[in-house]
Amino acid sequence: MYEHIIVPIDGSQHALLALQHAIRLAQNETSCSITLLHINPHLSINEVAIGVDLIALQEEEGRLILSDAEKLIAGSTIPYQAVCYTGDPAQLIVNKAKEESADLIVMGSRGLSLFSELFIGSVSHKVVQHAHCAVMIVK
C-alpha cells in the first residue's frame, strides 16, 4: 500500500512517536522506504552573535536530532535515508514529499490549542493543507 513515507523529525517526543508508527507501517509492506527529514528553520537575529557560528551550531543540532531518530530505525530492515535542510518547515516537508513521490507523511502533533492554531498556525496544519499525499498526524 505504501512505497515511500516521509517522517519529519524535530527532536520532539511527538516526532519519535510518529517515526515508530511509520516503522510499523513500513514493516507491513514488502518494499517501503522511509525518509527522515529534519528542517532547521531560518534564523532571524537582530543582534550579531560575536564569535559564535550559529549556523554551524544549528546544523550540528540537526545531525544529533537525526542521529537519535536513526537509532530507532537502524535495527529494522527498512531502507531509509536521513536528510537535513534549512528553511520553512511546512513548505520543505510538502516539497520533499512531492519530489520523492511519497505516499504518506507521518508527523507528530505538538498539540497546539485551537486558539494558537488559528493565530499562529502549526507546521502539521500547513502540511495537511498543502500536501499532495495522505498525512498522518500522531499524538
What Cα–Cα distance (Å) separates residue 27 from each residue in 21, 60, 75, 115, 117? 10, 30, 12, 37, 33
CATH class (in words) of the domain with range 4-138: alpha beta
For residues 134 and 103, the answer to whether their CB atoms sit within 8 Å is: yes
- Assign 3-state DSSP to the chain and report helix, strand, coil percentages, each to 5: 45, 20, 35
pLDDT in tens, 88-99: 999 999 999 999
pTM: 0.86
pLDDT in tens, 23-54: 999 998 889 999 999 998 765 555 555 666 66
